[in-house]
Amino acid sequence: MFNKRVRIKEVLAGDFLNQEITVMGWVRTFRNNQFIAVNDGSTNSNLQIVLELGKFDESLLKRITTGAALKITGILVASLGKGQKVELKAQKAEVLGDSDAEKFPLQPKKHSLEFLREIAHLRFRTNTFGAIFRIRHSLAFAIHDFFHKKGFVYLHSPIITASDAEGAGETFHVTSFELEKPSQNEDGTINYKEDFFGKPTNLTVSGQLEAELAALALGDVYTFGPTFRAENSNTARHLAEFWMIEPEMAFSDLEDDMNLAEEFIKYIISYVLKNNREDLDFLAARLTEEEKQKPQNERSEMGLIEKLEFVVNNDFERLTYTEAIEILKNSSQNKKKKFQYPVEQWGIDLQSEHERYLVEKHFKKPVILINYPKEIKAFYMRQNDDGKTVAAMDILAPGIGEIVGGSQREERLDVLEKRMREMKIPVEEMNWYLDTRRFGTVPHAGFGLGFERLMLFVTGMTNIRDVIPFPRFPKNAEF
């Protein structure tokens, strides 16, 4: 068997002292023709390999370059050197894959995140991205763990659909037509009957509507999959392809929804604090370094670990949209005209500068805002008795802004149909959705958590393009 290797994470954890083991990994550095730092991706730490001087061929030593892949067999011994407890005294060394030192783009020095984005196929091999993607895995696992323990059913909502769940018209079309010569009707319009699905289709923007169908039978469900939005937002918080977690609960109202979201976020953050401490500590130190470049007044008050622990141990602030508008209107920031979008009247959509003011300056903790004006929210949200607001909730996180969007759903058929017509949602085409309201409708609620926004929060990274392996954004679909 080829792969009789021990992972470096296990080697560093103990157990193998004075035993013969084989490790495989990639060279990070090679010093004095003697000390190799090898990383195999199982942990942020490298294993030090020691080559006895004179024992190995000059030709082999020349091939041990940054980026090369090695297979080393040796005895694990206690290390006398600083920086590591154990090291591997090599008996056999083999180069599995050479790496031309002149051409390998990742030299052992600090590279900018912008540069690494251009070589996203290789950035996995850096400490920073190793830590990020191990944490991404852990968070994904913790998400399934949370819902599974609570008895939720994981629902695979479709990627290709004929509906625009959010009604915002930001969809990517799916077609098998040749774009230059689609089938046309006599009047020159496109004849979708001839297209693959026999009607216009698009990539999903949200699995919510399908999750509602399942929740009204299975009780509690969640989706966790990729979603797609053709919004032309070239920001550090938007992707064209992002992953979303969407729980949906029957027999639940807005308060149940808030309680679930808060418990959920606290659970998954506790999970990584417990299970990914080495990677989090690395990213925390990285963030502290980055912050030193900033002027004093722009630095965050808490370190990364402190911030995560704070979120786990404190209640989120809950208030209504109306209360938030009052706070913003009366803020010195607003009075001094320091917002790019001044807050003058009830009804405006909150900009990220407003969200961040509430979270970072005013409350200094995560905030749940509820009961938004119905005009700025989706058609499916339950209308409140005041005739003006809907039972929506957004969760705002420090440094990020909106991280969760959710609501209690409109379960009353007549009210829902009326709202859909007002908002020009094609009622007839959505008969399947309305059937849930026709047959045994119940109060129900759910939310969507943006997985990459959560990743930003947990890792302390500042650009969403750095927390997904291969980011999709306007004018970019590399790799």
Binding residues for Mg ion, rule: CB under 5 A, are 405
What whole-number distance in Å separates Cα of residue 11 and Cα of residue 19? Answer: 11
| Residue 256, φ and ψ in degrees, nearest 5 | -60, -40
In angstroms, give the least distance from the CB of 204 to Mg ion.
16
Tokens of 163: 């509906």
- Residue written as tokens 């506790």? 270
By CB under 6 A, tell whether 208 contacts ligand 4AD. Answer: yes
Residue 406 and residue 392 in contact, taking contact as beta carbons nearer than 8 Å: yes
405/443 with CB nearer Mg ion: 405
Q: Report which of 164, 242, 160, 169 is spatially closest to residue 203, judged by C-alpha positions.
A: 160
Site for ligand 4AD (CB under 6 A): which residue of 166, 279, 355, 360? 166
Does residue 359 interact with ligand 4AD by CB under 6 A? Answer: no
Q: Which two tokens stand for residue 184?
A: 């046309």
AA identity, residue 133: F
Q: Is 443 in the site for ligand 4AD (CB under 6 A)?
A: no
Q: Does 466 bind ligand 4AD (CB under 6 A)?
A: no
Query: For Mg ion, which is the closer residue by CB, 207 or 405?
Result: 405
Q: List the structure tokens of 371.
A: 């009961």
What residue 448 binds from ligand 4AD, Mg ion, none (CB within 5 to 8 A, per partner kind)?
ligand 4AD
Long-range contacts of 467-470 (CB under 8 A, 24+ apart): 467/132, 467/136, 468/136, 468/239, 468/241, 468/242, 468/243, 469/120, 469/124, 469/133, 470/120
Q: Terminus-to-terminus CA distance in the chain, angstroms?
A: 32
CB of residue 402 to Mg ion, shortest distance in Å: 6
401 binds ligand 4AD (CB under 6 A): no
The number of helix segments (H) and strand segments (E) in the chain equals: 14, 16
| 238 vs 57: CA distance, rounded Å | 52
What is the largest distance, in Å, between two alpha-carbon atoms of the chain?
Answer: 85
- Nearest one of 458, 112, 465, 126 to 290, comparing CA atoms: 112
CB contact at 8 A, 204 and 227: yes
Instruction: Out of 30, 192, 222, 242, point to the residue binding ligand 4AD (CB under 6 A).
Output: 242
453 binds, among ligand 4AD, Mg ion, none (CB under 5 to 8 A by kind): ligand 4AD
| 379 part of the interface to ligand 4AD, by CB under 6 A | no
**Pick from 135, 404, 416, 461: which binds ligand 4AD (CB under 6 A)?**
404
- Answer for which of 450, 456, 460, 461 binds ligand 4AD (CB under 6 A) is 450
Nearer of residues 245 and 304 to Mg ion, judged by Cβ: 245
* 405/460 with CB nearer ligand 4AD: 405
Query: What is the smallest separation between the CB atom of 203 and ligand 4AD, expressed in angstroms?
Result: 13
Which residue's CB is nearer to Mg ion, number 343 or number 381? 381
**Contact between 87 and ligand 4AD per CB under 6 A:** no
Q: Tell me the site size for ligand 4AD, rule CB under 6 A.
A: 23
Among 28, 266, 453, 472, binds ligand 4AD (CB under 6 A): 453
Residue entry with tokens 């938030």: 324
The CA distance from 212 to 393, in Å, is: 17
Residue 201 interacting entry, from Mg ion, ligand 4AD, none, C-beta within 5 to 8 Å by type: none
Contact segment (CB under 6 A) with ligand 4AD among 2-10, 184-192, 258-266, 447-455 equals: 447-455
- Residues within the interface to ligand 4AD (CB under 6 A): 165-166, 206, 208, 229, 231, 238-239, 242, 244, 246, 402-407, 446-448, 450, 452-453
